[in-house]
Amino acid sequence: MSVVLACDLGGSSFRAALIDAEGQVLAEHAIAGPVLSDHLDRSEISAHAWWALLLEAVGRIALNTPEAFAEIAGIAICGVTRTQVFLCADGGEIRPALTWKDARSEGAAGRLRAKLGSHPEAGRINAFHPLARLAWLAEEETTSFAGLASVLEPKDYLNFRLTGRQASDPVSMARLIACAQADEAGSALAALGLAATIIPPILAPCDEVGPVGPGLPAPFDRLAGVPVFCACNDTWTAVAGLGALRPGYAYNISGTTEVLGVLGPEQAEAEGLITVDWGGIWHLGGPSQNGADTANWLVSLLDPAGTGEGVAARLEALLAGRRHPQPLLFLPYLQGERVPYWNPNLRGAFLGLGRQHGATDMAFAVLEGVACLNRIVLERAEAALGTTVGEIRFGGGAAANPAWAQIKADLCGRPVVVGGAKEPGLLGAAIIAWTGLGRFASIVEAQDALVRVARRYEPDPERRAAYDALFAIFRRAEDALAPISADLAGLARNPGPLVVARAADAVAVTTAR
């Protein structure tokens, strides 16, 4: 029986699975990592670390299920986006990749916007935009910039290592493709002295990049000749794995970060949201910096030593406690924010704390704060499209938490439907591979055949008024605290006497003893 190898390079883990043509997972292995080099607004990693994870995860599957591994008919890899791999002419990595969290290009983004003037892409330039990252590289690392030959997304780099061919897809490269388009003053790429050749050839997600090449390390030495499909970023792929890659659907993927979007038949624009042509379906929405990882942060903060249970069980225990009548409010901007604000200087906050509030109140506030952000994105997208979606397909680690799914349904006022696949990104990658192999005529046909629904959560009408009031307060709090966030972020860049003084105090105490 043939299987496909589906891989998902996430922000905090790498997963690989063997999946048959009925959508059944025959083998799966996950590895934590990669470990990012993060400090203040810097976030980077060598792309070779992703290659090492791919070899390790797939090697474990080959070891544990050799017979199924021998039946691999195709490979598809999805991965995190808004992350750039910089390669020189011989395909080597010039410098570590800049991840989705890196915000060092904020200043360069402002200068670039002014330089681009009326170019259609100018209004989208921010610290997380790939062209802003390239502008930063030109300003800060001139040698690296001079040697730049191509820019890849993480999954494209892995495909390149497997096949020897550089390629990407129109969704993952949408912003750089837009930068290559010229107006009266020329292209946005040309404004940095770059040619469109830094963008690799563009393929559809189900197109074959090439076969696995010979002479690769184990276990891929056993897969030479197996076709590798281009695939897409992890969001697009997971949406397919949820069965929502079609007009009139909304999706919400909550993993390391949170992604929410609405799909429609026509192009529309909304403030702070990403509009991308997903192959005849228009996407409106995009990724935030905060999601299930925000809940992980809270659990680790309240219980740093742990109790031997996983994060999910510890969060369930917190939510099972008694809640105070006066809710807390939480702004979930622990790492700045992308959609819908594109502001790396936003910071999180708990509001309304009283002496009788406890861990349960904080846990509910975190879940509700992320759901409030979901509602902002949903409302902006629906207003721009002029339509209301019938349901939100929900996937990712947070989808296993019934309380969070219900909170999202109640706050957004839409049914939340949890997909049957534990890892929709893996199922979506399998959908790509099987469609590319010709098993299904289209992605839509593959979704209909392989995607199953696990649970459905209807909005509770009794909570509507209370959540509307909480949401209104949330919006007021955002407006009020954004300037304070900027001031605090400024202090972090110039720590001065606060940090130095406390360090001196510690030395003085030690000396006195």
Between CA 264 and CA 269, with CA 267 as vertex, the angle to 5 degrees is 105
Per-10-residue mean pLDDT for the chain, 513 residues long? 95 94 97 90 96 98 98 97 96 96 94 93 93 98 97 98 98 95 86 96 98 98 98 96 95 90 95 93 92 90 76 90 97 94 94 97 97 98 94 93 96 97 96 98 96 97 97 98 93 71 52 50
Classify residue 191: in a domain, yes or no: yes
pLDDT score, position 501: 55
For residue 318, give the nearest of 254, 255, 362 by alpha carbon: 362
pLDDT score, position 505: 57
Measured distance CA(92)–CA(204) in Å, rounded: 25
State both tokens at 32.
């934590």
**Residue 113 lies in domain:** 3-235
Domain co-membership, 228 together with 340: no
CATH code for the domain of 215: 3.30.420.40
State both tokens at 451.
């995607």
Measured distance CA(378)–CA(264) in Å, rounded: 13
Domain co-membership, 194 together with 274: no
State both tokens at 98.
């800049």
What is the dihedral sign for C-alpha 373, 100, 245, 295?
negative
Classify residue 447: in a domain, yes or no: no
Measured distance CA(486)–CA(333) in Å, rounded: 12
Which ranges in 192-276 belong to alpha helices (H)? 234-241
Of 213, 235, 257, at which residue does a domain stop?
A: 235
Classify residue 58: in a domain, yes or no: yes
DSSP secondary structure letters along 59-111: HHHHHH-HHHHTTEEEEEEEE--S-BEEE-TTS-BSSPEE-TT--TTHHHHHH
Domain co-membership, 144 together with 24: yes
**Structural domains of the chain, count:** 2
**pLDDT tens, residue by residue, 333-368:** 998 999 999 999 999 999 999 999 999 999 999 999
Residue 260, beta-bridge partner list: 252, 286
Strands 282-287 and 274-277: antiparallel
Measured distance CA(398)–CA(367) in Å, rounded: 10
Of 215, 235, 255, at which residue does a domain stop?
A: 235
Q: Is the pTM of this model over 0.75?
A: yes
pLDDT score, position 504: 52
pLDDT score, position 502: 53
Residue listed under structure tokens 């249970």: 309
Domain co-membership, 509 together with 413: yes
Domain co-membership, 342 together with 375: yes
pLDDT score, position 184: 73
pLDDT score, position 308: 58
Domain co-membership, 280 together with 229: no
Cβ atoms of 250 and 392 closer than 8 Å: yes
Cβ atoms of 75 and 162 closer than 8 Å: yes
Measured distance CA(154)–CA(396) in Å, rounded: 20
Of 178, 203, 235, at which residue does a domain stop?
A: 235
Domain co-membership, 357 together with 305: yes
Domain co-membership, 202 together with 326: no
